[in-house]
Amino acid sequence: MKIFAVGGAVRDALLGLTVHDRDWVVVGSTPEAMAALKFTPVGKDFPVFLHPQTAEEYALARTERKTARGYKGFAVQADPSVSLEEDLARRDLTINAMALPEAMAAALGDPAQTPAHWRHEVIDPWGGMADLQAKQLRHVTPAFAEDPVRILRVARFAARFTQFEVAPDTLALMQAMVKEGEVDHLVPERVWQELAKGLMSEKPSRMLQVLRACGALQVLLPELDRLWGVPQRADYHPEVDTGAHMLLVMDMCARLNAPLSVRVACLLHDLGKGSTPADVLPRHTGHEGRSVKLLQKLCARLRVPSDCKELAEVVAKEHGNIHRSADLGAEAVMRLLERCDAVRQPQRFVRVLQACECDARGRLGLEDKPYAPAARLLQAMQAALSVQTAPIAQAATQAGLMGPLIGAQITQARVQAIREIWHAAGPAP
């Protein structure tokens, strides 16, 4: 039995990045032998075990052969005859198909151990080190085409490793996979999982660009793909193209270190612009309502988590009103806060404002412009939250008021609190 560290840990260490997790391949062993060593089996489809002390994953070397479309459509062979090279051949990209013997693998987690100390020990049958140097994302073998999830993985690796380019032959293979309908059979959960990882990468725009380049975006997110080529008013959007705006917004999300829910909201906030009638362009009157309907269908299709979906709905519906809120008085701002449910969910409203900031600054030449509406609306929200509602409700009840009339008095008190805090703060700069 021989054990090797494989995949991302070797890749990241060679790139000088911090190694957070290590995966292992075991050559020449059996499930029975692993159980005898107190390893715990996990999963039903693949021979993967957890180490009894570290809980790291150890997988028996295996080959995979596609038997049908879909995630389950693979025949797996895992027995002592499978070599390390055969196991590495089933991986997606050459930079993920390198291994390091167990005896040297401690170096992966030791910052004092530079790659120069152990680079010569790397087992690299598929040219991963050369592609690391050339900054290429290249498939290992034509078997890449057997799993369409790999298209999404390549796209998110492009978003993470921003200096890397997809190799031309790999892009051509991805395009052929899309044309052959392979992407049509992806399981929604797998699509969402990969998209979420890509959205949280250093440059999310690159994931979208790669998916567009191979045609997968049109299949997986047609509502989003339709934004490219749709013009907007240049006085509001110097970049003009709605798709170009989307790329800038997503990269602003990364720049501001926004959480996933904010990035999803930004991704989906303008979907309605893709269905604006041509005769009214470049205006997009009513796109907010169309965006909400489209994103609801998209989120249901991909089974997007409810917190992401709900934030996206608020942002799609209200982002224009939030951008223009400097012109609103206290009563109108209070109505805006109520529509956003800001009093009940203040932390969510903070995320709404962050998404709006990404939208406002995700425009050509406006990347560094401060987003003034956020500070003013946060002031208003804090003022509304400062109102003690119980005494108001008690006094109103004693006066014989009920239900909506009590609510109206609380709202009026909040409006007054907003006026007062704005007056104390002075005019906006």
Same domain, 282 and 395: yes
- Last residue within a domain, chosen from 99, 130, 161: 130
Q: Are residues 385 and 243 in the same domain?
A: yes
- Name the nearest CA neighbour of 256 among 391, 384, 353: 353
Q: Please name the residues in contact with 130: beta carbons below 8 A apart, sequence gap of 6 or more.
A: 94
| Residue type at 148 in one-letter notation | P
Residue 25 one-letter amino acid: V
228 plus 349 within the same structural domain:
yes
Q: Tell me which of 354-358, 374-378, 406-410 is least confident.
A: 406-410
Residue keyed to tokens 């209070």: 334
Report whether pLDDT(259) > 80: yes
- Asked if residue 143 belongs to a domain, the reply is no
Distance CA 132, CA 15 (A): 8
**pLDDT confidence of 111, banded at 50, 70, 90?**
low
> Alpha-carbon dihedral of residues 99, 105, 109, 111, nearest 10 degrees?
-100
Tell me the C-alpha distance between 131 and 156, whole Å.
Answer: 17
Give the tens place of pLDDT for each residue, 165-181: 999 999 999 999 999 99
Asked if the model's pLDDT at residue 206 lies above 60, the reply is yes
pLDDT at residue 201 tops 90 = yes
Q: Please compute the mean of the pLDDT values over residues 32-54 and round it to a whole number.
A: 88
Cα 159 to Cα 72: distance, rounded to the nearest angstrom: 27
Residues 125 and 228 placed together within one structural domain of the fold? no
- Domains in the chain, number: 2
Cβ-contact 66, 146 below 8 angstroms: yes
Does residue 420 share a domain with residue 276?
yes
- Count CB neighbours of 128 within 10 A: 26
Dist CA 185 CA 211 (whole Å): 16
Section 25-36 average pLDDT:
92
Q: Report yes or no on 236 lying in a domain.
A: yes
* Mean pLDDT of all residues in 17-29: 89
CATH of the domain at 37: 3.30.460.10
What was the pLDDT predicted at 429?
Answer: 43
pLDDT-based confidence at residue 156 (cuts at 50, 70, 90): very high
Going by C-alpha positions, the residue among 235, 233, 230, 261 that lies closest to residue 246 is: 230
| Statement to judge: residues 111 and 236 lie in one domain | no
Q: Has residue 46 got a pLDDT over 80?
A: no
Residue 110 banded pLDDT, cuts 50, 70, 90: low
- The pLDDT assigned to 137 comes to 98
Whichever domain contains 344, its CATH number is 1.10.3210
> Looking at per-residue confidence, does 106 or 39 come out higher?
39
Instruction: Provide the pLDDT for residue 114.
Output: 63
Helices (H), ranges, 303-403:
306-323, 330-339, 346-361, 372-386, 389-398
Q: How far is CA 164 from CA 17, 44, 130, 133, in A?
A: 15, 35, 13, 10
Q: Which domain holds residue 399?
A: 222-425
SS3 401: coil
pTM given for the model: 0.90
Per-residue model confidence as pLDDT tens digits over 296-313: 999 999 999 999 999 999
